Structure 1
Amino acid sequence: MRIRSSRFTVIGGELYKRSYSGILLRCLNSTEATYVMRVIHEGNCGNNSGGRALAQKILRQRYFWPSLAKDALKFSKRCKNCQFSSNIPHVPPKRFGQRKFAAVVVEHITKGVEVEAVAKINENEVMKFL
């Protein structure tokens, strides 16, 4: 407790936390924290960049509260614009063995389709498929 409390100080009736680089971060209560998140996220400089980026912006503005990272992630998940403009994680499809390509043949008259997973796209694989 003594080590943790050494990182905090009171100046002019306000509580501050000393960051690792020595900068004083103003500690906020939950109401102030919500207001700061909204202003930084939706303000003139807000660009819907996501929770981690929002948390870093708040720290650069010299604000702190214990659940900053968690609250910033939750706030950005509720933002409709953030969800619309966020990156879509690209998960590779599950493969059967080492087969990562699909050979497809469409019969011209009946429009029947045949598909088979192949490991390589080369003449031997295609001939085996046909």
Structure 2
Amino acid sequence: MDTVEAKKILEEVHEGICGTHANGFTMARQIMIFGYYWSTMEGDCINYAKKCHKCQIYGDKIHVPPSPLHVMTSPWPFSMWGMDVIGPISPKASNGYRFIFVVIDYFTKWVEATSYANVTKSTVSKFLKKEIICRYGMLEKIILDNALNLNNSMIAEVYIQFKIKHHNSSPCRPKNEWRGGSGQ
């Protein structure tokens, strides 16, 4: 097989009628299924896929330098929960509520959520007591983001009342990470 015919086969398999812009190894397998083979086929397929402009532009690549992961694990179900408030939501719900209070178990990923007009110390206390402690048992830790809505002295009293350890999450954001917004 000459190089012109091999190039036509590579083009057709990679981006022609049967093309899926597959990687080099997959392309080589597809070419063999179609009944073609040459000694440098696998290397040619890999090089062709590496040089494909569309694959390079639209490929699923991470544009952030690698950083160490910060694992938060829970040793048993329902002992460590993440807690957050979503809102204010606009427009208000039909019942006038503007906030969604959410807690998620770190071990099972179980979610409990409810809506409120306002999230106060008493609503947090009642929710934790009724929906979490009474249903799943006493929790050991609550993890929050650093937002002020649940990080204040009034809510801290709830943690003291139920003897819950409070931790703030520390999201790792590399300096070059795009943060959204107006294209900056």
TM-score w.r.t. the length of structure 2 is: 0.36
TM-score w.r.t. the length of structure 1 is: 0.48
Counting strand residues as a fraction of each chain, which structure ranks higher? Answer: 1
